[in-house]
Amino acid sequence: MLYDTTATDATFVHGRAPEEIDGIIDWARAQLPPSETRPWRLISARRRFGKTLFEVEEETSRGRRRLIGKLGKPERAETQQRAITLLRNAGFCPPSLYTVPNVVAWSKDRGFLLLEKVAGLQALAPISHR
């Protein structure tokens, strides 16, 4: 379900939005340090395979930034966080041609991961939804 109808490039437009998305967004914002808390605009959200996924946009001093939030199994979030950090430390970060997202925040206990959406093209073509 698309929340911001002006966004044409939302990640999670297919599927049904979770009823508890407002509480999840409030909790996710509380995970950030107060100095990094800016107003969020909810772009899209969905619940799939036991995970809650959402995309928000915030205004920064360098322009707009998209964030992807994932809330699921704690062991999965930890594995993803570790893999992304290792890849970024190995050089998969700007200005490299191939990059992985930056981890903005994560909580092992809740299985939460907040990632900065990577600009550019995906290496793997997205699967079309019918």
Q: Along the 130 residues of the chain, how does pLDDT read in single tens digits? A: 345 656 666 666 555 567 788 888 888 888 887 767 788 888 888 888 888 889 998 888 888 889 999 999 999 999 999 999 999 999 998 888 888 999 999 998 999 999 998 776 666 665 555 4
Domain membership flag for residue 2: no
Number of separate domains in the chain: 1
Domain membership flag for residue 36: yes
Domain membership flag for residue 71: yes
Domain membership flag for residue 12: no
Residue 29 CB coordination number (10 Å)? 18
Domain membership flag for residue 39: yes
Q: pTM (2 decimals)?
A: 0.78
CATH for 41 = 3.30.200
Domain membership flag for residue 26: yes
Which residues, in sequence order, are bridge partners of residue 119? none
Task: Identify the CA nearest to 37 among candidates 60, 70, 53.
Answer: 60
User: What is d(CA 4, CA 23) in angstroms, rounded to the nearest whole number?
Assistant: 18
Domain that holds residue 97: 21-116
Residue 51 CB coordination number (10 Å)? 15
Alpha helices for the chain (secondary structure H) = 21-30, 74-89
